[in-house]
Structure 1
Amino acid sequence: MHEKRVSWEGMESLNKKLVEKLDKERFDCLLCIGSGGLILGKLIADSKAIPLSAIIANSYDKGEKSKKQVKLSNIATISPLKGKVLVVDDLADSGETLEAVIELLKTFPNITNIKTAVTFTKPHSKITPDYYVEETSSWIIFPYEKVEFQSDQS
């Protein structure tokens, strides 16, 4: 699989493109998915002047099964999630993380609309994000993953 390394400068450019796509939309709050969506979520929340919340998602192998399950943390928020919510992550790969977060948010009675935004999406993702900058089959290495990626190669 082709590898695509994204620099900090490249991320800044991609993030600006995503913010431009969101320009005419109004959201009541933003939920970023950590850890990959934390930086992007902060940038979008600041640019749109909307409350920022976060949830941590982790995929892990359960026993010997190859199927990955998504484990979600509690949502960290100062103001309640309500109205039109924008869910932000860096990448929609399998789509399972976005799907799990959306299913969780559907249980919140005061949320009326859920939209998703990512920097990259993969063609095989089970969810097509509402907003994204680029679709790619490449293995994406973000600048904040360099240490993680290096330790995996050891």
Structure 2
Amino acid sequence: MEVRSYDYVHRRGVRFLSWEEFASLGRKLCEALASERIETIVGIARAGLFPATLAACALRLDLYPVRVSRRLQDEVRFPSPVWHVPLVAAVAGKRIAVVDETADSGETQALVAEQARTLGATEVITAALVSHSWAKPQPTCVALTTDELVIFPWDQQVLIDGSWQLHPEMVTAIAAQQADSKPE
């Protein structure tokens, strides 16, 4: 079975992560990255900058953000990841970690890792706070592997028309999961 990015029907269960759980998973990811002797962090914007910034601060490393996404203005618009902010040449000669919040298909991290190698990074590993079992390739370092729909703290309260509410995409994802689980 091939699972596409944002194909929420294939998630099994819902997990709301608190900021405290994010911090705990972040520490676990940092420990894994420290054992890899990483010299530089590359964070994938937008949400991948949360764990990437945590790792860069905790490990006292430089952070270089990139933006590679299927989204524009928070809406999925492309079938595959598109470069919006390129990777800097400063990764040349360094052992780097490409960090994202979720490894869903694995395609975004693979694209950034390939570009880092092209720019001369001496070693490239991938890291994700959360990975799904179907991500190909799987990240080198992962804090949590689950096929649940993980709702991060930053998606639990978004401001829409002056009102704080659950991210609409998460509302739709939960509904899709519930519809899929009903007996016919």
Tell me the TM-score normalised to structure 1 length: 0.85
Larger Rg: 2
Offset from partner CA, 1:16-49 (integer Å, 9 cap, x none): 1111222333222110001121111111111211
Q: Match for residue 18 of structure 1?
A: 29
Alpha-carbon distance in structure 1 between the residues aligned to 2:99 and 2:167: 26
Alpha-carbon distance in structure 2 between the residues aligned to 1:51 and 1:73: 21
Matched residue of 1:90: which SS? strand
Any stretches of 5+ residues in structure 2 without a counterpart? 1-11, 71-75, 160-165, 173-184
Cα RMSD (Å): 2.0
Choose from 138, 148, 160 the match for 1:128.
138
> What percentage of aligned pairs have identical amino acids?
27
Matched residue of 1:80: which SS? helix
Alpha-carbon distance in structure 2 between the residues aligned to 1:87 and 1:29: 9
Could you tell me how far 1:150 is from its partner in structure 2? 3.0
Q: Match for residue 141 of structure 1?
A: 151
Alpha-carbon distance in structure 2 between the residues aligned to 1:133 and 1:120: 6
Alpha-carbon distance in structure 2 between the residues aligned to 1:106 and 1:21: 21
Structure that is richer in helix per residue: 2
Q: Which moved more, 1:139-148 or 1:123-132?
A: 139-148
C-alpha change, 1:86 and 1:99, in structure 2 (3 Å) is same
Which amino acid counterpart does residue 67 of structure 2 have in structure 1?
I
C-alpha change, 1:30 and 1:135, in structure 2 (3 Å) is same
Could you tell me how far 1:51 is from its partner in structure 2? 0.9
Q: Match for residue 46 of structure 2?
A: 35
Choose from 167, 173, 183 the match for 1:150.
167
Q: Assess if the C-alpha contact under 8 Å between 2:103 and 2:109 holds in 1.
A: yes
Q: Assess if the C-alpha contact under 8 Å between 2:130 and 2:145 holds in 1.
A: yes
C-alpha change, 1:57 and 1:120, in structure 2 (3 Å) is same
Q: Assess if the C-alpha contact under 8 Å between 2:126 and 2:141 holds in 1.
A: yes
Could you tell me how far 1:2 is from its partner in structure 2? 0.9
Could you tell me how far 1:61 is from its partner in structure 2? 4.4
Tell me the TM-score normalised to structure 2 length: 0.72
Any stretches of 5+ residues in structure 1 without a counterpart? 63-67
